[in-house]
Amino acid sequence: MAYDSHWAGELRSTIRCSGGLLGLLLLVDWGAGDFSPWRAALWGVLAVLLFLVLLPPRVAAGAGWLSSRGLRRERRVRTDHLVSVRWLEGVTQRLVLRDAFGDRVEIDPRVLVANPPLWHRLNEDARASAAQGMLLCGGTALLQLSQRIDRETARTVFKVSGLE
């Protein structure tokens, strides 16, 4: 089984950001002489909302499946029965995976770039789906992601070896 190895660090950053905001807002209120329990509660709610917005989903993969666990629920897709892989454009890029059973998972492609074991599991199972004729849409998206991961890997190798 493969996990997002950077998730714990991102969680710590989320906690630091929301805690830092809370501390800064309380400090400003105290310095301005406007500190009250109601304002402190309001700043606490604001810090919790920031935490909820920044909380990263936990991505894991195993033989034939990939899951993304958010705050409220876990979404799981059968990667050995993929029918569609596509890019979802917006503020941030998302990779949308759909399986033959109607399940859908959205993940940040940077998670796959930063975690080769996750990418290996997904790529291996997606190839099996394509070989079975199930993957009807998504060959281009997987190729683009594969090329991006290869570029990042080469860049990392050059950086580590001092050839950058």
Distant-in-sequence, close-in-space partners of 123: CB < 8 Å, separation ≥ 6: 142, 146
Q: What is the pLDDT of residue 77?
A: 96
Q: What is the pTM of this model?
A: 0.80
* Residues 148, 164: Cα–Cα separation, whole Å: 18
Token digits of residue 14 = 């989320």
Secondary structure element (H or E) that encloses residue 66, with its range:
strand 65-69
Whether residue 148 contacts residue 109, with contact meaning beta carbons closer than 8 Å, is answered with: yes
Q: What is the pLDDT of residue 137?
A: 85
Q: In the chain, how many H helices and how many E strands? A: 5, 7
* Residues 162, 4: Cα–Cα separation, whole Å: 27
How many angstroms from the chain centroid is the CA of residue 150?
Answer: 19
Q: What is the pLDDT of residue 104?
A: 95
Q: What is the pLDDT of residue 143?
A: 86
Strand partners, 66: 61, 77
How many residues are listed for the chain in this entry?
Answer: 164
Q: What is the pLDDT of residue 89?
A: 81
Whether residue 66 contacts residue 46, with contact meaning beta carbons closer than 8 Å, is answered with: no
Instruction: Give the pLDDT means over successive 10-residue stretches in the chain (164 positions).
Output: 90 97 95 90 96 94 93 92 88 90 93 89 90 86 87 87 79
